Amino acid sequence: MGRSPCCDKLGLKKGPWTQEEDQKLLAYIEEHGHGSWRSLPEKAGLHRCGKSCRLRWTNYLRPDIKRGKFNLQEEQTIIQLHALLGNRWSAIATHLPKRTDNEIKNYWNTHLKKRLVKMGIDPVTHKPKNEAPLSSLGLSKNASILSHMAQWESARLEAEARLARESKILHYQTKPSSHHHGFTHKTLLTTWTCKTNQGNADQQQQQLESSTSTVSFSEMKDLSAKTEFVGSSTCLNLIKEPENDWFNSTVHEFEATEMAGGVDEGFTGLMLAGDSLGRSFSAEKNETVKEWSGGGDCSNYYEDNKNYLDSIFSFIDPSPPMF
DNA sequence: AAGTGGAGCAACCGCGTTTAG
DNA sequence: GCTAAACGCGGTTGCTCCACT
């Protein structure tokens, strides 16, 4: 059986969109929403396929899109997220409100990738092309931790997608009561990048609206240790699934490191543990940004690389969790 | 002024995943 | 449960603009 046939591909226009087409698409979506992309072109009076319409809308016409140059903050975020997530542009785009995955992808390919190459950093692995000197600086442990984190984030995104689907089903099956526990499914999507703001209702509300996650690493660890979670057990179930075994090993690794290096330092302590220089991140972060924007002077090769990695590590919540 | 090459970016293509029937 | 269309994503292409020769 399957679905009814797709839109007739004969006689459909391709190539750049005209102003008239844009206006038609905009007007239609503003009035009716996009609904089914497949049927949209005909309803909107466009001789385009639904795929083309969707692309035009998501990459160009959407009103919540910010266009123009990327600022330093955005650049840094892209690089840091790329180090963690690789070429998962849609995932990266969720951390950059108002930017599309296509725009980020283009910006990476035309600007940022070249800049990293100039600095002597492999844009695929985000490792220096000659890693030995950095290892001697004590950064190899951080690299392995980063690898764990990439796995973690990867699985988190998968869980996020699954929860989104689940919540969609629930939304249609039951009357929405998303906040009855004070948590939506988004609250359950954990990461180490965000601080908690318990005790502040406004901020909590903001978190609930946010597409990014809200629970600190310490909370995550508690989740695993105590096997409980306020509001729902969905997250925990995901974590405890066999394919997420790496999660437990990662948690144990962190626990071990934390015990050795002293409690209450949380992630900051952990991330700093492998850095024999033990410098302040926040101060140097700005330096790094300046160097990058200046075009990457390779004369400071090792210093650049250290700053670069520091920057990635500091992206992962440098502040101790707030309880 | 014309030709050339590079940068920037919108849009297409192909493939894997999801979902309607 | 199966099939095939729809969807979404990442890679790639090709067009336009601009600087340089």
A181-195 pLDDT per residue, tens: 322 233 233 333 333
Q: Which pairs from A17-26 meet CB under 8 Å and 24+ separation?
A: A17/A56, A17/A60, A21/A46, A21/A48, A21/A56, A22/A56, A22/A60, A22/A61, A25/A53, A25/A56, A25/A57, A25/A61, A26/A61
Which of A73, A69, A72, A64 minimizes the C-alpha distance to A97?
A64
Average pLDDT over residues A287-310: 47
Q: Tokens standing for A49?
A: 């396929």
**Which has the minimum average pLDDT: A163-167, A184-188, A202-206?**
A184-188
Are residues A305 and A121 in contact, defined by beta-carbon separation less than 8 angstroms? yes
Question: Would you give the DSSP letter of residue A194?
Answer: S
In window 63-122 of A, residues with CB < 7 A from nucleic chain C are 87-91, 101-102, 105-106, 109
Are residues A56 and A45 in contact, defined by beta-carbon separation less than 8 angstroms? no
A81-98 pLDDT, tens digit per residue, is 888 888 888 888 888 878
User: Which residue's C-alpha is at the least distance from the C1' of B6?
Assistant: A110
Other beta carbons within 10 Å of A16 = 7
Establish whether the CB of A274 is closer than 7 Å to any nucleic acid atom in strand C: no
Residue A4, pLDDT above cutoff 60: no
- Percentage helix, strand, coil, to 5, in chain A? 60, 0, 40
A52: which nucleotide lies closest, measuring CA to C1'? B11
**Which has the minimum average pLDDT: A58-72, A200-214, A270-284?**
A270-284
What mean pLDDT is reported for chain A? 56
In 3-state terms, what secondary structure has residue A271? helix
A162: which nucleotide lies closest, measuring CA to C1'? B18
Beta strands in chain A (DSSP E): none
- pLDDT (0 to 100) of residue A53: 87
| A223 vs A101 pLDDT, higher one | A101
Are residues A286 and A302 in contact, defined by beta-carbon separation less than 8 angstroms? no
A320 phi and psi, to 5 degrees? -65, 150
Strand partners, A275: none
Residue A314: pLDDT band (50, 70, 90) is: low
